[in-house]
Chain A
Amino acid sequence: MEARVVNKGQLPELLDKLAKDYDLIAPVQEETVVLFRKISGGKDAFLEYTNSDVSPKGCFLPQNEKTFNYTYTGDSIEINKPEGAQKAVLFGARPCDIKAITTLDPVFEGEKFGDEYYSSKRENTVIIGLSCSKVLSTCFCYAFEGGPCDGTGSDLLFTEIGDKYYVEVNTEKGKALADAYSQIFSSQGADQLAKDKEELAKKLAGEFVRKVDLTGVKELLDNNFELAFWSGDEQKKCIGCGTCTYVCPTCHCFDIFDYPTGDFDGARLRCWDSCMYPEYTLMAGGHNPRPSRKERVRNRFMHKLKYHLDRYNMVGCVGCGRCVRKCPVNIDITKIINDLKEVAQNA
């Protein structure tokens, strides 16, 4: 695998150049929260963050997306689709969030149900990851074969080492970008930094405090749709908000509806939806397949720990810990995993 070195002092210059040549999306700080936004240069980026408040999945699956405009012309309907995605760079995403994007890929890029809106953005975007420099008490990416310095899914992975970034070139797309800015991406000193990176990865791997063990959980869920566990405290305390699903980097449910702008025209939109909401998958006839919190809470965790595995052979959680931090009532997927494991052992 190839590697490069970027001086930290040159990063603003690189981001300025990238913003000129691409739509550059990077972490920014708004008041107290960190989000991914399109930026105009290095001065806007905020890289001293541990984990953004909302994941960058919106780069590929925006919370609001116009799929087409429609106009009724009297005898027919004119449909205007938006143009394909612009060339973009997603800079500074953490390894867990990039891994999360790889779990969305089979959903939107499957042979059977390809999604042009997603694919267009995915194909035109170069993902530049940024290794973590700190592990939070809520982090557990290790449990899903991730890691604070894991490059899975990234085109380039930056790891901060002293006054330099060690840059791993993981794909041809990444290589092309590094080559295009060769005055900033140098090859000198990469060998030593590779060792330093390995050391850092080892050090951070020892800092996780959450013990998460998935042994037996999938098998338990495979054989038991109904478990007394789902009627317990977790669903009783759930207040039914959509926070966990909206901050989650792998949740990808959406709702499609028409948004009229006049009597004869409007747009068809697709917007994030949440399985925690009472109207989620509510049928026109009034039937609700998940009528109470019990079914909704079960659905979320079944999706993370079983359904995504069944469909794509990939876990539906990457251990970013956002839902753990943000849940108003401290519903914690790591506790649920461990509780389910206990249920499995006692069964």
Chain B
Amino acid sequence: MMDVIQQLREQAKKLLEEKKVDLVIGFGQGTELARTTPVFIDSPEGVSKLTWGPFCANNLAKYLTDYKNAPGNIAVVVKGCDSRSVIRLLDDNQISRDKVVVIGVPCPGQLEWQKVAAEVKPGAVLKETADNGESFSVKTDAGDYSFNKKDYMLHRCLVCENPNPVVADITIGKELPVKTYEERFAEVSELEQMNTEDKNAYWDKQFSRCLRCYACRNVCSVCTCQICVFDQMLPMWVSKRTNLSENTMFHITRAFHVAGRCVDCGECDRVCPMDIPLRKLNQKIHKDLGDLFDSPTPGSKPGIPSALGEFSPGDPEEFM
């Protein structure tokens, strides 16, 4: 992946030197071998911070709304899934197209850093990574490792719909083959088979753990309300109290609020400190939107309006 990193830095440098953008948001090496961290580069000298590889899980499109009123243009590094967020943000009029330079990188999948960290010698320094199809090789100063995708990749990447960015002004790296997955909604289907009591018990168990740290909401690229209903003090729709009732209220409301806009980037699921499988909630909605409205994953096809944001006389719902 060294060539991708090299090209990323060259392109970012060019954009900054030619003053086409004031800021480049990308991935930089994190404080753990298998983690990257968002970096914000505003000068050509800073581009050496940019990196790329199988540890770039974050969806950096999230940050675009932070800069929507800032002077100057912004470049952002996106994977295929993140590019769906860019499309959604454009369609929701959250950002303007001419303000953003999208640097797309075809992505062969992202590894779960905790799983990798458990195998690698603590304190080892990353030298190089490479995609070998079924696995990633990770070279460090303490030896070389190989991680097969099946066991170490983020779950969302195992059924990736858009390995290639849907929108990009600059594409770096080779386009990857697109696969379709019959089992894309396997987990949701499994839940659907349960009876109501079991389903209830399943989610009660999950939601009762929730700390209400709001990491799921804050990492979400389509959560763009300036003041979230859950932060409102007057009226206080939910209090700071954590209990099953209010936790459930929070998660269900959020799932419905992003219905038709959620791009299935899976970030909510990744960042939950209590490992609540939040993506399953959103995936159920994706599955239903597909079944009922033949709607693709939001953001996966530019120009198609949100299933729930459009009126159509041919709507199959009878009461319409």
Contact = CB atoms under 8 A, between A and B. Distances in A.
Interface of A: 30-33, 35, 53-54, 63-64, 135-138, 207, 209-210, 233, 236-237, 239-243, 245-247, 255, 257, 259, 269, 271-274, 277-279, 282, 324-326, 328-332, 334-335
Q: Which 7 A-B pairs have the closest CB atoms?
A: A209-B123, A328-B271, A330-B37, A241-B215, A137-B122, A271-B240, A332-B31
18 contacts: A33-B209, A54-B211, A64-B242, A137-B117, A237-B38, A237-B39, A241-B213, A241-B215, A241-B271, A245-B213, A257-B236, A259-B241, A269-B241, A271-B241, A278-B231, A329-B38, A329-B58, A330-B36
Nearest to A54: B211
Contact of B218 (A32, A136, A239): A239
B147 interface: no
B76 interface: no
Contacts, number: 121
A328 B58 contact: yes
A150 B301 CA distance: 57
A242 B213 contact: yes
B233 A282 contact: yes
Contacts of B203: none
Contacts of A332: 30-31
B274 A53 contact: yes
B49 to A, nearest CB: 9
Interface of B: 30-32, 35-40, 58, 62-63, 66, 114, 117, 122-123, 205, 209, 211-215, 217-219, 227, 231, 233, 236, 239-243, 267, 270-271, 273-275
A136 B32 CA distance: 11
A64 B275 contact: no
Contacts of B215: 239, 241-243, 328
B213 A271 contact: no
B246 to A, nearest CB: 10
Contacts of A335: 31
A63 B210 CA distance: 11
Nearest to B217: A241
Contacts of B30: 330, 332
Contacts of B122: 135-137, 207, 209
A279 B219 contact: no
A334 B31 contact: yes
A35 B239 contact: no
B274 A33 contact: yes
Contacts of B39: 233, 237
B209 A30 contact: yes
A111 to B, nearest CB: 29
Contact of B219 (A53, A241, A246, A278): A241
B242 A328 contact: no
Contact of A271 (B219, B239, B273): B239
A271 B37 CA distance: 31
A142 to B, nearest CB: 14
Given A237-B63, A243-B273, 13 more contacts: A31-B205, A64-B242, A137-B122, A233-B39, A239-B219, A242-B213, A242-B215, A255-B240, A271-B239, A328-B267, A329-B58, A330-B31, A331-B37
Contacts of A210: 123
A37 to B, nearest CB: 10
Nearest to A138: B32
Nearest to A135: B122
A236 B38 CA distance: 9
A315 B239 CA distance: 31
A210 B30 CA distance: 13
A257 B236 CA distance: 11
Contacts of A247: 211, 213, 273
Contact of B32 (A32, A246, A273, A330): A330
A138 B239 CA distance: 33
B40 A233 contact: yes
Contacts of A255: 240
